[in-house]
Structure 1
């Protein structure tokens, strides 16, 4: 009788089970460490990304292009200053204690209600200014402790703090060496890292890391500023260049004379020289004999005065009243349209020995304008389309003709920008600049006396007539300009020549 053998199933030994469990534990611990490391890296990258978002909220996004030019945006462009804290980027008005959400409850608790300037236009410059945020987008409320923390979730220790766990400082003395002395125009924003405390290594390290100290020795106590002065302020100490098309004013009636010094009358000057078949010279001035600057002094000496140099009759001729173009031109515009030079009734005192309006007294008449002597202000003279010469005689020297041919004008530039203390628009005037109104383009560098650095953003300029000051009640120049023009100021970039 055969006996069947039973099949035996062999299991894991205790030793084998122990080895497997050890391997699984080891793999699990490695996976946990790798997962933690990945999580830490994600939080670190989130901190970096949020810090960059804060910078762009303050300065604008440099990668944003509109119509081929860098867009002007951000807190500084609107307010003309750096924010005092991060809460200012999220809400326009808020309590100094985030426990309170309304002005009434805030002030009832003895706290301060912080108010930022409303978004509004400036009437003179056309600039808009004020708060138009929020400049950072958040999912919750700006009153929440974690409204915009770093990637590590650090919170402020108190609701009176307004920086959501970030270290925020300005006016830092990074060190005593240039270019990092005490400066209230820079801003440090820093995360305290995974351990939520200053210092540390690896993921516990502060970000950005500290690079400066007051005495330039370790341990360093401050990072490089997130925003330095050059990031949001433009230096205009070198002036602002503007291209200007100047009006073409009539020639100033220098003392009457011929460019050929041997000829003392208009008739002799304009007589044909038989040797050259050309006139002996060009006659300058309204009187037909040399030595006169206005009609009164000319006619009182029994000479003839021509208000337009191409008139065939003098102003006192019996037929002048009935005379018409092309023989007689009686206004500056018709004279100049016919390519003539308008002298009007000249300028200065009827007694030519008197060199200024101040000493032109008694029966004498002073002309600051080329009218009949009744106009006394430049604005009225311009409105009458006459020539304005002022209250002192210009050079009478024949040799001065070349440099005195066109009317000279003093002008200035006003730069409009946002004040850092109130965010309201103010202006700074340039020094005066004298031009010849010769109808040509000219590039002018307007310089300023001790100008402040100007915040980036959309600012404005206007050129004005200078009458001893550059106040905003002075007329814009030239007269056809109606308003200042807006100009974009960008960081770390020189201003181009502005076309006025």
Structure 2
């Protein structure tokens, strides 16, 4: 009888220990999933707000590439696919010459050392396992069950629906939603399926919190102006020239056709003369968002021959002799945009 009692007690203790260990392991996996979601958000945005501004740090997927990642795979490795025609590939990280779109006149490339920017895909933004996967803490694998054009657990406000993707090869067991300029990531939790199917709290879906919203990775310059100063030491008599400014913004969209540069231009301003140390302002459009991705971009002065946004603007080359000298002496300035850092001071100086 005493032996039986001892066995019962030992069995109860063993059961409690097993239950405790199981709960501890589940909590570890839960916490690991939360940490991985935080790592994904940090990999996309880098430091944000005051922390980035105070330290002058620009890093993260958006800073390097100018766009949101297509999927989790894009955070793990540089996408290169030669099996399709044309080939699909992210541009690799390195010094890149900004390009100004001159409309029907073609593109002008700024290849001087002072113009080059570090852009492109670095190869890895999150630390994946040796096998190349970056799964949640539960090791969720969806295999052939994954699909595109679905609703993930997190439904974006105002979204069109069916914008989610949980294809395993692309999103490593996560469910990712790209909706307009927003990015959402969900883990399916312990059971690897949407919803809490039993009473176990670890089965709850876990969203990336907060999600990545437009204002996290873009700075809206709507209605803001670029100031253009005369720093030549003399009055510039220009005789009625239409001038504007443009931000040259790099976008690495993995389409395989080389670097992609967008010219985000201000309105043109008619300038007759400009006194020494005087300036004029060229405003960006005041209707609708004018989004600039976080990162370092090149600001350039633009000649608008026909006034307004002509089809063939030339890069401006104002000099102290008051002459236009081709397109080799560009008036430029590097400008840094920080996540949640507000609109930076945008200034060009004619010297």
TM-score (norm 1): 0.51
- Unaligned residue ranges in structure 2 (runs of 5+): 98-108, 145-166, 322-328
| Root mean square deviation, CA, Å | 3.3
**Displacement of 1:410:** 4.5
Distance 2:290 2:239 in 1: 35
Aligned partner of 1:446 in structure 2 is 283
- In 2, the alpha carbon distance for the partners of 1:51 and 1:193 equals 12
Distance in structure 1 (CA, Å) of the matches to 2:319 and 2:283: 16
CA deviations over 1:237-290 (Å, ceiling 9, x no partner): 12234363454555xxxxxxxxxxxxxxxxxxxxxxxxxxxxxxxxxxxxxxxx
**Structure 1 residues 243, 25: closer, same or farther in 2, change over 3 A?**
farther
Instruction: Confirm or deny that 1:486 pairs with 2:334.
Output: yes
Find the aligned partners of 2:194 and 2:52 in 1 and give their Cα distance.
41
Give a deviation string over 1:425-457, Cα, whole Å, max 9, x none: 221221123565222354735223766411111
Partner of 2:189: 193
State which of 23, 28, 43 in structure 2 corresponds to 1:42.
Answer: 28
Matches within 5 A, 1:93-112: 93-95=79-81, 103=82, 106=83
Distance 1:464 1:246, change over 3 A: farther
> Aligned pair in 2 of structure 1 residues 42, 243: CA closer, same or farther (>3 Å)?
farther
2:262 to 426, 439, 454: 426
Q: 2:51, 2:227 → 1: CA distance?
A: 25
Q: CA deviation at 1:20?
A: 2.7
Larger radius of gyration: 1
Q: Find 1:474's aligned residue among 298, 315, 332.
A: 315
The answer (yes or no) to whether the contact 2:297–2:336 under 8 Å persists in 1 is yes
Higher RCO (C-alpha 8 Å, min separation 6) = 2
When the two structures are superposed, what TM-score results if normalisation uses the length of structure 2? Answer: 0.71
User: Is 2:299 the partner of 1:461?
Assistant: yes
Deviation at 1:21, TM superposition (A): 2.5
- Secondary structure at the counterpart of residue 161 of structure 1: helix
SS of 1:242's equivalent in the other structure is strand
Looking at structure 2, the residues matched to 412 and 388 of structure 1 have their Cα atoms a distance apart, in angstroms, of 14
Tell me how far apart the structure 2 counterparts of residues 467 and 26 of structure 1 sit (CA, whole Å): 88
Counterpart secondary structure, 1:389? strand
Q: Does the 8 Å contact 1:58/1:76 carry over to 2?
A: yes
Q: Tell me the alpha carbon deviations over residues 16-60 of structure 1, each in whole angstroms, 9 at most, x when there is no partner.
A: 333333222222222211111111110011001111111122122
C-alpha spacing 1:63/1:463, structure 2 compared with 1 (3 Å): closer
Distance 1:228 1:479, change over 3 A: farther
- Corresponding position of 2:216: 231
Higher strand share: 2
- 2 CA distance for matches of 1:482 and 1:113? 34
